[in-house]
Amino acid sequence: MNDEGRLTVEVESFGVAVGELMADRAITILPSNTKEAASEYMYSSTSMSFQKYARKHLALDYLTKPERLYTQKSVDVFLPAILFGLGQVIENPDLVKLLLEVTFNYVKETFVGDKAPTVKATFVSKETEKEKYLSVTYEGPLEGLKNIAPAFFKAIKHED
Amino acid sequence: MKTEWFGEGKYSRKDVIDSYNDFIDSANSLNLLVRSTRLQKEKISDIDEYIKCIKNFKRQAASKGDEQFANLLFHFQCMLRCVQSSIEMWLHLKDEEYQRAWCCLVDAQEYKDVALKIEDHDGIRRIEDFLGKVRDAIFPPWTHYNSAAFSSTIGQCSICGEPFGDCDHIEGLIYSGRLCRRVSIQFLEGHHSAIVSNPRDRRCIITEISKDDGNMIDIFTLERTGDVDVHDEENEVLGHMKGILLTTVSLDFD
């Protein structure tokens, strides 16, 4: 990975509620504890500001209405997990690039600090197999976030 | 409003800027360890009073829709708080309150970071360099910090006071001379703590560690602070540490 960032690819099974609640939209902000019951969902502490910022550029919404937030201070910016709708990534690859650009600009404009921020961001795509999700997590310098699109496409096409 | 700072009668934008430049120079001249404790304490109080005036001007600028001047005044406010925190650091060092001194240094750096979001100039870079040198020369070279993860309520918007989910304000952006944050947050549950090298909050330091001889030592002074439990060796405990897991510092960004 460039810029010393770390990329992790996983196939996950989320709680049944995720599939049931997932509306027919291209981009959904996921809670950080998707395996819990929907009544206990909590969203990354940056979710609400990110949603306000990103909605000017993209159509996106939360999986459920946020009630509680989850703060993690081991990285400078702990971004919300983003779920792409079934087939959206393959049919519309520019969507991923736009989301990465919006995410990059969001961090750049809102981060307060004297150094280049580190970020943690997870992008999830629904697999065609029932209730399976492929998640790609990037953790590292903000600059590296812009470069993960090719790795994300490779992962969802199972090219490695 | 003190006339010695702004003169009498109406104040022009230039009057306010000139006054600020003189005032921060006078504050900076006391931003050294060897300066008189009495003068430093007086200046800390003066900065509080001066910032009240700055906020007054800021409100006037905001009410006239002069976003640019309101933000410049917020930059002044942050720079003054930065210097004030740095002077407070020297006072705590004189009193051998090292942990509080460290937190004041972090406060000063955070004020400087927010000031930098508005304006960048040689003066702020000199202060940034000064604070970095102070950190390196005065305090231990921290390599690890604590980092907590917790859940909380959403809270309210510091700009409009509405529930944060109901407004359009975005955390980390500056609106008419105020930094947007979520406030009135209720802590719900602690989830975990990790030891990390690059934390979000550098106040969360490890303050004491155990040594092989069974003593706890203070990370700042290296003085013994007490004994660890003598049964630990039998229980295969490798070491102990004390530290700050989470702070709720509220800096002046309004």
For B219-254, the pLDDT digits (tens) are: 999 999 987 766 666 667 788 889 999 898 889 999
Bridge partner list, B90: none
Q: Residue B96: how many CB atoms within 10 A of its CB?
A: 10
DSSP character at residue B234 = T
Residue B110 in contact with partner chain A when CB distance is under 8 A? yes
Write down the pLDDT at residue A74. Answer: 76
- Rounded Cα distance, B113 and B116, in Å: 5
Mean pLDDT lowest among A19-33, B85-99, B105-119:
A19-33
Q: What is the DSSP string of B181-202?
A: -EES--EEEEEEEEEESS-S-T
At A57, the amino acid letter reads H
Q: What mean pLDDT, rounded, does chain B reach?
A: 93
What interface predicted TM-score (ipTM) does this complex get? 0.90
User: Is the pLDDT confidence value at B13 over 80?
Assistant: yes
Mutate to test the interface with B, among A55, A71, A111 (most CBs of B within 10 A): A71
> CA-CA distances (angstroms) from residue B143 to A76, B130, B197, B202?
16, 21, 6, 11
- Using the beta-carbon criterion (under 8 Å), do A114 and B112 form an inter-chain contact? yes
**Domain residue spans in chain B?**
3-138, 151-183, 189-243
What residues in B contact A75, CB-CB < 8 Å? Answer: 198, 200
| CA–CA distance, B93 with B96 (Å, rounded to integer) | 5
Q: State the nearest Cα–Cα gap between B151 and chain A, in angstroms.
A: 4
Distance, in Å, from the CA atom of A128 to the CA atom of B129, rounded to the nearest integer, reads 54
pLDDT score recorded for residue A2: 46
Mutation target among A69, A107, A108, A119 for the B interface, most CBs of B within 10 A: A69
Structure-token pair, residue B31: 């931003």
Q: Report the C-alpha gap between A111 and B177 in whole angstroms.
A: 17
pLDDT at B73: 98
Take residue A34 and report the two structure tokens written for it: 């998707």
| Cβ-contact A1, A9 below 8 angstroms | no
Span A62-66, average pLDDT: 92
| Domain range list for chain A | 2-156
Q: Using pLDDT thresholds of 50, 70 and 90, give the confidence band for residue A1.
A: very low
> Which amino acid type is present at position B95?
D
Q: Cα dihedral sign for A21, A23, A27, A29? A: negative
